C-alpha cells in the first residue's frame, strides 16, 4: 500500500477496534445487570437492558459497513485482511452475547416468590464467570494477546461445569417442589443462556488467536 493508504487503513482498523470495544463494554454491562435484575425482580432495569441491545445491534451494523468499505477500498492482504475479517466475525458474536443478556432480562418478570427460591442464588456466580470470559477476551482482542485468548478458552470448562451443576440442582428442586416448576424452567433457560455466553466468548478467543498468530489454538485448549 502507498503511505497515505497505509495511514488510512490504520485509522480504519483503529475505528473497527473502537467500535468492537464499545459493543463489548455494553455487552459486559448487560450480563451483570441482567442477573442483578433477575435476582432483585427489577423490571425497570430489565427494560433498560432490552433497550441497550438496540445500541449493540446498531454498532454491529456500523462494523459491518466499515469492514466492507475497508475491503472494497483498501484491498487488504494477508495479516491486514485477517484483521478485518476477524473484526467482522467478532462483532457478530458480541452482538449474540448481547442477545443472550436480553433474553435473560426478559425472564425477570417470570420468577415467582423469588425471595424463597433457593436455586436463583446459584446463577450470579455462573454469570460472573461468563462475564469475566467476555471481559478477558475483549482485552485479548485489544492487545492481540493469544496467550490470554487461550486462557479464555480454558475457562469455558468451568462455565460448562457450573451449568451441569445448576441443571441437576434445578431438576431436583422441581421434583421436590412441584409448585416451582414454572419458575425453575425459566431459570434453566437463563442458565442455558449464560452457558452460551461462555461458548461465544470462546469463539471470539479462537478468532483472536487466529488474527494474532495465523493459526487456531490446539484442540487441547478446549
Amino acid 2: pLDDT: 52
pLDDT in tens, the chain (222 residues): 555 467 888 899 999 999 999 999 999 999 999 999 999 999 999 999 999 999 999 999 999 999 999 989 888 888 888 888 999 999 999 999 999 999 999 999 998 887 777 778 889 999 999 999 999 999 999 999 999 999 999 999 999 999 999 999 999 989 998 988 998 999 999 999 999 999 999 999 999 998 888 898 987 554
As given in the structure block, the three cell numbers for residue 60 are 454491529
- Structural domain count of the chain: 1
Q: What is the pLDDT of residue 81?
A: 87
Residues near 114 by beta carbon (within 8 Å), at least 6 away in sequence: 39, 41, 120, 183
- Segments forming the whole domain that contains residue 83: 3-221
> Residue 184 and residue 118: Cα distance in Å, rounded?
10
pLDDT number for residue 117: 77
- Spell out the alpha helix ranges (H) of 106-180: 123-143, 146-176
pLDDT of amino acid 115? 77
62 phi/psi in degrees, rounded to 5: -65, -40
Of the candidates 158, 166, 172, 169, the one whose C-alpha atom is nearest the C-alpha of residue 202 is: 158
Q: Which cell goes with 157?
A: 470448562
Residue 146, C-alpha cell as written in the block = 493469544
Alpha carbons 16 and 202: distance in angstroms, whole number:
20
> CATH number, domain at 203?
1.20.58.220
C-alpha cell of residue 150? 487461550
Distances (CA, A) of 106 to 51, 99, 199: 11, 11, 21
Amino acid at each position: 500500500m502507498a503511505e497515505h493508504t497505509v495511514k488510512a487503513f490504520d485509522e480504519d482498523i483503529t475505528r473497527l477496534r473502537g467500535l468492537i470495544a464499545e459493543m463489548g463494554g455494553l455487552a459486559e454491562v448487560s450480563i451483570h445487570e441482567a442477573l442483578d435484575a433477575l435476582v432483585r425482580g427489577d423490571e425497570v432495569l430489565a427494560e433498560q437492558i432490552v433497550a441497550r441491545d438496540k445500541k449493540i445491534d446498531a454498532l454491529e451494523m456500523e462494523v459491518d459497513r466499515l469492514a466492507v468499505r475497508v475491503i472494497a477500498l483498501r484491498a487488504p492482504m494477508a495479516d491486514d485482511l485477517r484483521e478485518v475479517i476477524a473484526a467482522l466475525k467478532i462483532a457478530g458474536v458480541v452482538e449474540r452475547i448481547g442477545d443472550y443478556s436480553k433474553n435473560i432480562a426478559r425472564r425477570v418478570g417470570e420468577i415467582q416468590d423469588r425471595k424463597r427460591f433457593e436455586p436463583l442464588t446459584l446463577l450470579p456466580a455462573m454469570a460472573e464467570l461468563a462475564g469475566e470470559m467476555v471481559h478477558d477476551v475483549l482485552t485479548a482482542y485489544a492487545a492481540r494477546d493469544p496467550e490470554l485468548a487461550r486462557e479464555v478458552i480454558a475457562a469455558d470448562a468451568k462455565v460448562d461445569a457450573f451449568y451441569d451443576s445448576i441443571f441437576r440442582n434445578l431438576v431436583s428442586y422441581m421434583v421436590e417442589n412441584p409448585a416451582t416448576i414454572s419458575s425453575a424452567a425459566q431459570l434453566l433457560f437463563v442458565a442455558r443462556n449464560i452457558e452460551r455466553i461462555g461458548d461465544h466468548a470462546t469463539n471470539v478467543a479462537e478468532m483472536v488467536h487466529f488474527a494474532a498468530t495465523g493459526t487456531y489454538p490446539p484442540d487441547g485448549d478446549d
